[in-house]
C-alpha cells in the first residue's frame, strides 16, 4: 500500500522556499511527524546542507540526534527528510538510493526549474540502499 504523507500548506511553502533560497545548490531538512500509513508531518526542520558539492546534500548527524532525543517519549518521530533537485529531476538519484539505508524513511524531493520550485514528490525508502517506492504527498487545509 502506498503511504500518504500529509503536509500543511505552510509546511509545503517552507520546503519550497528553502529550495528556492538554496538554488543552485540543494537544500535539505528533516521531517518530524506521526502515523503509519498516513503520516502527518508536524514539523519541517531546515538543516544547513553540509555537502561540499552543489549537487549533493548532507544533513548534520548531530542535528538528527538532537531531534531524536527531543522526540523520545512523544508520539512524534523523525519520519524522513526533504531535499531539492536543482536539475529539475523529480525522482531520487542513484546517489539518493545509496544513502537510503533506513527502511520506511520518507523522502520528499523538490524539483527545481530555472530556480523555481515545482510540485513536491514523495518516496518511501525500501532500506539497505534498495531504492524507493512511491509515496503520495497530500497538502492539507490548515486546521
Ligand atoms: Zn537527490
Average model confidence (pLDDT) for the chain?
95
Distance between Cα 38 and ligand 1 center (Å): 23
At 55 the pLDDT is: 86
Split at pLDDT 50, 70, 90, the class of 54 is confident
CA distances to 108, 114, 143 from 81, rounded to whole Å, are 6, 23, 23
Distance between Cα 35 and ligand 1 center (Å): 25
Tell me the residue length of the chain.
143
Cα–Cα distance measured from residue 117 to residue 36, given in angstroms and rounded to the nearest whole number: 28
CATH number of 4-140: 3.40.140.10
Contact assessment for residue 84 and residue 109, using Cβ atoms and an 8 Å cutoff: yes
Question: By CB neighbour count within 10 A (0-12 exposed, 13-18 middle, 19+ buried), where does 25 fall?
Answer: middle
Distance between Cα 56 and ligand 1 center (Å): 7
Quick check: pTM over 0.75? yes
Distance between Cα 118 and ligand 1 center (Å): 15
Locate the domains of the chain by residue range: 4-140
pLDDT in tens, 70-107: 999 999 999 999 999 999 999 999 999 999 999 999 99
Amino acid at each position: 500500500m502506498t503511504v500518504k504523507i500529509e503536509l500543511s500548506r505552510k509546511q509545503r511553502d517552507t520546503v519550497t522556499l528553502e529550495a528556492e533560497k538554496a538554488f543552485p545548490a540543494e537544500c535539505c531538512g528533516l521531517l518530524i511527524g506521526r502515523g503509519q500509513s498516513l503520516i502527518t508531518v508536524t514539523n519541517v526542520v531546515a538543516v544547513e546542507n553540509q555537502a561540499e558539492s552543489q549537487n549533493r546534500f548532507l544533513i548534520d548527524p548531530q542535528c538528527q540526534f538532537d531531534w531524536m532525543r527531543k522526540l523520545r517519549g512523544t508520539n512524534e518521530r523523525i519520519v524522513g527528510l526533504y531535499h531539492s533537485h536543482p536539475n529539475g529531476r523529480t525522482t531520487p538519484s542513484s546517489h539518493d538510493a545509496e544513502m537510503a539505508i533506513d527502511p520506511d524513511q520518507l523522502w520528499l524531493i523538490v524539483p527545481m526549474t530555472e530556480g523555481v520550485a515545482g510540485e513536491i514528490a514523495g518516496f518511501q525508502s525500501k532500506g539497505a540502499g534498495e531504492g524507493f517506492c512511491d509515496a503520495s504527498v497530500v497538502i492539507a487545509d490548515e486546521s
